[in-house]
Amino acid sequence: MWKGYVHNNNGENMIGKIALSACLALALAGSAQAGIIGAGGFTAPTVIDFEDAEVGPIGNRYAALGASFVNFDMNVYATSPAPESKVALKFFDNAPETDAEIRFSSVMTRLGADASTNPEDDTTLLAYLGNTLVGSAFFDTGGDGVDGSFIGIEFLSGFDRVVFRTGTVVNGALAIDNLRFENVVPTNPVPEPGSLALMGTAMLGLALARRRRSL
């Protein structure tokens, strides 16, 4: 009788521990929600269209708006069906693998831009908070200077630096325009599929624990 009680209690404790672990994992997953977002996924972002940029490195020209640029130069290019306009261009003929960066003076959760690359040279965005990589996103970009693609990311854990990395099948060139960024955390973020699975595990564990207590 005693042994049976101990066995049931241990099982209940184990289920409780599993449920607790799942709940903790769910909380962590929720805080690190991330995803690719479209042009309509922004609330009231800061927008930089580069029309007042001058020839040469963009650097700290937009520091007053909270953004500085590394390895981006001003150029005239097409990144959408609209006519050519001034853009931020990453292009190193002798070093196509060179990354570009945008650094922010405060934490952001969303970033997006119109982008144009050679069709063979896709784009990856890597978001960092300090020196910690919080997430990345891959985009099948194209445009070839005629039109382009939209690249947008959202990492609710926040980031203060984004690295722009392009493939080097052709030359690794990347032009961006209408850069937008903001720090907005939705009040009721939609859980990721993995988070929903964790929630189900947690609820099942708690239900089994209650059932065992009632027996």
Q: Take residue 163 and report the two structure tokens written for it.
A: 């690295």
Fold classification of 34-182 is Jelly Rolls (2.60.120)
Beta-carbon neighbour count of residue 215 at 10 Å?
Answer: 6
* Residues ≥6 apart with Cβ < 8 Å to 21: none
**Neighbouring-strand partners of residue 128:** 133, 161
Alpha-carbon distance of 88 to 177, in angstroms, equals 6
Whats the size of the chain, residue-wise? 215
pLDDT digit string, tens, across residues 13-69: 554 544 444 444 444 444 445 589 999 999 999 999 999 999 999 999 999 999 999
Query: Which residue is listed with tokens 């990354």?
Result: 99
169-191 burial, b at 16+ Cβ within 10 Å, e below that, comes to eebbbbbbbbbbbbbeeeeeeee
**Neighbouring-strand partners of residue 87:** 75
What is the pTM assigned to this prediction?
0.74
Alpha-carbon distance of 58 to 60, in angstroms, equals 6
**91: helix, coil or strand?**
coil
pLDDT digit string, tens, across residues 143-182: 877 778 999 999 999 999 999 999 999 999 999 999 999 9
CA distance readout (Å), 39 to 138, 152, 183 = 16, 7, 15
pLDDT digit string, tens, across residues 62-111: 999 999 999 999 999 888 887 889 999 999 999 999 999 999 999 999 99
pLDDT for 204: 53
**Neighbouring-strand partners of residue 102:** 69, 162
Q: Which of 89, 87, 53, 85 lies closest to 71 in space, CA to CA? A: 89
